[in-house]
Structure 1
Amino acid sequence: MFQAAAKTLSIASTSSVSRAILFSLRHYCKKTPTKLRVSEALSGAELGENVKVQGWVRSVRPQKANLFIHVNDGSSLQPLQIIAGSELNDPLLTFGSAIEVTGILKKSPHQKQPVELEADRVRVVGKCNPVDFPFKIKERHGLEYIRQFPHLRCRTNAFSSLLRIRSEATTAIHSYFKDNGFMQIHTPIITSNDCEGAGELFQVEPSGPAHEEDEHFFSVPAFLTVSGQLHLEVMSGAFSRVYTFGPTFRAENSQSRRHLAEFYMVEAEVSFTESLEDLTKVMEDMFRSATEHVLAHCAEDVDLFHKHVTPGHRDTVDAMVKKRFPVITYSEAIDILNRSSQKFAFPTYWGCDLQTEHEKYLVKHCGNIPVFVTDYPYDLKPFYARDNQDHPEHTAAAVDLLVPGVGELCGGSLREERLDLLSARLQEVGLEDTYSWYLDLRRFGSLPHGGFGLGFERYLQCILGVDNIKDVIPFPRFSHSCLL
C-alpha cells in the first residue's frame, strides 16, 4: 500500500509538500537501520544497506546542492564521509558537535575512501561552539598544547590514536603472558610494605569526623603500592609463573619527562630459575611480541605518530623488533662510559648509580637498540636481590633493560632465596621484624626464583618516540598536579 502511494505521489506532484510526504513514506518503508561503528562502516560491513552512524563532526563542507560531513566515533583514525542534501544542513552542525546519521552505505567513487554514507537524516545530538572549542578544524595541535585540556584532548587525532594504541598494547601484553603459561594475580593497591625501600610512599588514611580519633584505619600504617612484586613472590611459592598489571604510586617530587606519581606496571615472577637469562628472555620476548602486535593492529595510529609527531622513529622501532638485545655487565658499562669523550653531568665510577644520561649513552653505543645491563653493585639494589658473592666486586644478580629515548624500561633480579643471607640483609637494613612473613617464604618450601617490572608508560614512549611521559597516559598525576 505504501509503495503504491509513493509511486502515485512521485508521478502526480513535484510540489515541496508532496516531496516531503514522499520522503516520509520512503523512509517509513525502509527497514530499521543497522547501527554501525565508523570502523565497521569503513570496512564495508552492510554495504548497500540502511545504516545508522553516531559520532562527532570532524569537518563540514556545505555546497550548493550537497553537504559533506566527516564524522568519527573513536573506533578508527579515519573518519567516515557523509553526503547529505543541502536541505539537511543545520546551523548547529559544526566542528565538534555530536550527530546521528542514517542512510545508505555505498561504495565511494573516490580512491582515498572506500565507502561513503548517503544520508537521508542528520540529527544534531550535542552542539559545540567552534569558537570556544580549544581545538580548531584543520589545525594540527602539538602534544604539549593539548595536554592543557585533559578533559578534551581525547577528541584530537593524536591522542585518540594514543589511546587506541595503549588499549591494544594492554591486550598484547595480557595475550603474551596467557600464551606463555603465566597466571594473572590481582595484587593489592593498599599495602603495608615498601617494596623498593625508597620511602616515596602515599600513606592511606580515611577522612572525616568519624575517623579523627583512629590512630590507623588498618591498625598499621598503610600505603598505596609502589610495586606488586612482594605479593607476586608469595604466589610464586605455589604457581610457577605469575604476573600482575596495574597502577602503582610513587610520592616522588619530580616534574621530569620520565616520572609520574601514578603509573602502570607490568610485573612478573618466574619460579625455579637460577639464571638471569631466563628473565631477560621473558623481557625481550614480551617486548617484541607486544610491539609486533601493536604495529600490526594499530598501523594507521602508529604511522600518525611516526610521521607527524616523531618523524623518523619508525626505523628505530623496526631495529628494536628485528635485532636481538645485547647484554653487558655493569662493569663493562662503566668502562664504556669512562672511555667516552662525552661530558656527563654526573660522574661515572664503579659503584655509581647509572643516571638517565648514562643509560641513553649506553643505548646509542650499543647500536640504538635495547640493551641489558646485568650484575649491578650489591649495595645499589634492594634487600631482595640475590647476592652473587663474587670478589673483589660484590654484585647482585640484577638486570635493567635500557631502551632508546627513555633509558631504563625494565628492572629485575633473581631473588635471594637463601634464608641465612636474606635474614642477615634484613637485619643490616633494620627490616627483619617488618618482613618476618617474607622470611617465612624461605622457611617453607623455598625455591630459586626471579622477576622484573616494566613501566607501561615508558614502553609506550619507547615505541612511539614520545618525549614526555605525561603524553602517553589519559590523566597524568605528578607533583602539584591532579586535574580531574
Structure 2
Amino acid sequence: MITSRLMVLRRAVCVSWLSSCVRKQNYCSSAKKTRVREALTSLDSGSSIRIQGWVRSVRLQKNNLFLHVSDGSSLHPLQVVASSDLNTRGLTFGCAVDITGSLEKSPSHKQRVELQAQKIEVVGECNPVDFPFKIKGHHSLEYIRQFPHLRCRTNVFSSLLRIRSEATAAIHNFFRDNDFVQIHTPVITSNDCEGAGELFQVEPAGNEHSLDEENPHFFSVPSYLTVSGQLHLEVMAGAFPAVYTFGPTFRAENSQSRRHLAEFYMVEAEISFIQSLEELMKVMEELFKASTEHLLSHCAEDVELFHKYNSPAHREQVNLMLKRSFNVISYTEAIEILNHSSEQFTFKPEWGCDLQTEHEKFLVKHCGNVPVFVTDYPYDLKPFYARDNEDQPRHTAAAVDLLVPSVGELCGGSLREERLELLKTRLARTGLDSTYAWYLQLREFGSVPHGGFGMGFERYLQCVLGVDNIKDTIPFARFSHSCPL
C-alpha cells in the first residue's frame, strides 16, 4: 500500500506523492518531489493507496458517491468514487477524511485516474450550515479576509500560501546561487534603523518581571521589535562579501492602507566592495526577475488562478516586467516629470519632499508600466547611513528606490557612508553619535565601500499576482486595531 499526504493532479496526468515517504513494494524514498512523482506516475491500475485530506465537494448519485478531496498541496483535488453502501455518516463538504482504496483509470476526460474507495473514515466532521464557505460559492479575497482562521480552506488562499512558500524558496535560491551568506538578524533590537520612530517597544508583561527603579528595562536599555535588519547586516558585511536576511519586521504605522502592515516580511541584502548604485540596482533587478521566473515555472497553475480571476490581463504585465530592462531616472528628473504632467495630484510634487504613492504609480505608468529605479534623493530625506553625493549640484544621497506597477515602492536601498568623519558629523547633528558609537567603530576597523537594499515580500507578491490589498498576501494580517488569533 502507498500512503500519500501530498497530491498533485494535472489535466494530462493525475498522480499522488508523499513529501516524506513513499512505499511501493520495497521502494522507500524521501528524495525530491520530482523523484517521488516519477515513481508514482508509473503506478499500475489497481494500486492500493491511502489518502488524507479535506472534502471539497460531495455529489450523490443512485449507486455511487463522488467526492473531491484535497490536502492543500495542489489546486486540483482527487476524485474519489464510493459505493453508496459504504458507511458515509458525517461525510459533508469541509470535513476531514482518511480514505483507502484502489487507483483506477477514470472514464472521464477531466482526470486520468480516480480513487475507488474501499473504506472512508470521517476524521473531523464539519457543519456545512455554519461553515462560511460554500461548494459553489464565489469567495472574494475581501470576503474570506473576515475568517483568518478558516480562509486557508479556500482555493484562492491555499494557492496564495503555496505561491508564498515557493517565492520564499526562490529568493533563498537566488542568494545561495550568488554566494550570499544568510544571517539571522535579531527580532528584538535596541536601534531604530529607519529613524522614523514607528517602533513597537518590548517590555515584560506582569508584575513577576518587575525590575528595579534605577533600571526599569528588561534589557537595561529600551528595546524594540525590529524595523529592519540592515544595521546588523552591515556588521556582517565587515567579514563577508555578501550577506542577506529574510524575516519579519514591524512598523507601528497607524494605517489602514492597502500597502501597509504592522508586521511584514523583508528581504534585505548587504554587499561589500561596491561603489556605485548601478551595481546595487543590478542585484535588485536580477533578484526580482529570477524569483519571478522561478515562481511562474514552479507554481504556474496557482499563479494563473490569480491572474485569471483576481487580476485579468495581469500576466501580460508580469511578462513585460521580465522582458524589459528596468528604467532609471534621478529624483530630480522624477520631480520634473511630475511637474510637467497634466495629472492633478493630491500632494504637489516639490523638490525636497518625499514621493507619495500617487507620484510613484504615475512615474511607473509614464515609463511604460515597467519598473523604474529612482536615484539620488535629497540628502535630508534619507537616514544617516546613506552616502553623501558630494559632487552633485544639489545635496543628494546615493540612495535608490525601485518602483513597480500597481504597488509603487517595492525596494529601497543606498550606498552606505563609509567615510568616518562625514558619518560622525551627521550623527552628531542628529544627536545619535553616542547611541551609534558601535556603528562608527565599524568604520575604524577594516571598513570598505558597501551598500544594500530591502524588498518588502508582501509587496512583491502584490506586484506579481496583481493583488490589490496587501492584507491578502500574508497568512495572518496585522495592522492597526486588528490582531486576531
Report if TM-score (shorter chain) is over 0.5.
Answer: yes
In structure 2, how many angstroms separate the alpha carbons of the residues matched to 1:33 and 1:457? 38
Aligned residues, how many? 453
In structure 1, how many angstroms separate the alpha carbons of the residues matched to 2:326 and 2:427? 34
**1:3-82, aligned counterparts within 5 Å?**
32-39=1-8, 40-41=15-16, 45=41, 46-48=43-45, 49-82=47-80
Is the Cα contact below 8 Å between 2:5 and 2:71 reproduced in 1?
A: no
Is the Cα contact below 8 Å between 1:41 and 1:115 reproduced in 2?
A: no
CA RMSD of superposed structures (Å): 1.1
**Match in the other structure for 1:354:** 355
Q: Which amino acid aligns with 2:427?
A: L
Which sections of structure 1, spanning at least 5 residues, go unmatched?
1-31
2:100 to 99, 102, 127: 102
- Corresponding residue SS for 2:157: helix
Deviation at 1:93, TM superposition (A): 0.7
- Corresponding residue SS for 2:268: strand
Deviation at 1:36, TM superposition (A): 4.6
Could you say which structure has the higher strand fraction? 2
**Match in the other structure for 1:20:** none
- Structure 2 length-normalised TM: 0.92
1:83 aligned to 2:81? yes
Deviation at 1:33, TM superposition (A): 4.4
- Structure 1 length-normalised TM: 0.92
**Match in the other structure for 1:449:** 450
**Match in the other structure for 2:459:** 458
- Corresponding residue SS for 1:87: coil
**1:232-381, aligned counterparts within 5 Å?**
232-381=233-382
Residues 341, 75 of structure 1: CA spacing in aligned structure 2 closer, same or farther, 3 A cutoff? Answer: same
Deviation at 1:461, TM superposition (A): 0.3
**Match in the other structure for 2:146:** 148
**Match in the other structure for 1:9:** none
In structure 2, how many angstroms separate the alpha carbons of the residues matched to 1:273 and 1:387? 15
- Corresponding residue SS for 1:341: coil
- Corresponding residue SS for 2:97: strand
2:208 to 207, 210, 213: 210
- Corresponding residue SS for 1:368: coil
**Match in the other structure for 1:11:** none
In structure 1, how many angstroms separate the alpha carbons of the residues matched to 2:393 and 2:185? 39
Q: Which amino acid aligns with 1:37?
A: L
**CA offsets 1:33-57 (integer angstroms, 9 cap, x no match):** 4335222528654342100011000
**CA offsets 1:355-393 (integer angstroms, 9 cap, x no match):** 000000000011111110000110100000000013431
**CA offsets 1:4-26 (integer angstroms, 9 cap, x no match):** xxxxxxxxxxxxxxxxxxxxxxx
**1:398-409, aligned counterparts within 5 Å?**
398-409=399-410
Is the Cα contact below 8 Å between 1:67 and 1:89 reproduced in 2?
A: no
**Match in the other structure for 1:171:** 169
- Corresponding residue SS for 1:41: strand
Structure 1 runs (4+) greater than 6 angstroms displaced: none
In structure 2, how many angstroms separate the alpha carbons of the residues matched to 1:41 and 1:81? 12
Is the Cα contact below 8 Å between 1:57 and 1:71 reproduced in 2?
A: yes
In structure 2, how many angstroms separate the alpha carbons of the residues matched to 1:148 and 1:54? 27
Deviation at 1:139, TM superposition (A): 1.0
Deviates more, 1:383-392 or 1:340-349: 383-392
Could you say which structure has the higher helix fraction? 1
- Corresponding residue SS for 2:196: coil
Which sections of structure 2, spanning at least 5 residues, go unmatched?
9-14, 18-36
Deviates more, 1:42-51 or 1:237-246: 42-51
**Match in the other structure for 1:467:** 468
Deviation at 1:213, TM superposition (A): 3.5
Is the Cα contact below 8 Å between 1:337 and 1:358 reproduced in 2?
A: yes
In structure 2, how many angstroms separate the alpha carbons of the residues matched to 1:245 and 1:230? 14
Deviation at 1:415, TM superposition (A): 0.1
Is the Cα contact below 8 Å between 2:6 and 2:73 reproduced in 1?
A: yes
**1:376-395, aligned counterparts within 5 Å?**
376-395=377-396
In structure 1, how many angstroms separate the alpha carbons of the residues matched to 2:389 and 2:232? 24
**Match in the other structure for 1:162:** 160
| Structure exhibiting the larger radius of gyration computed from Cα positions | 1
Q: Percent identity?
A: 72
Deviation at 1:301, TM superposition (A): 0.3
1:117 to 115, 118, 122: 115
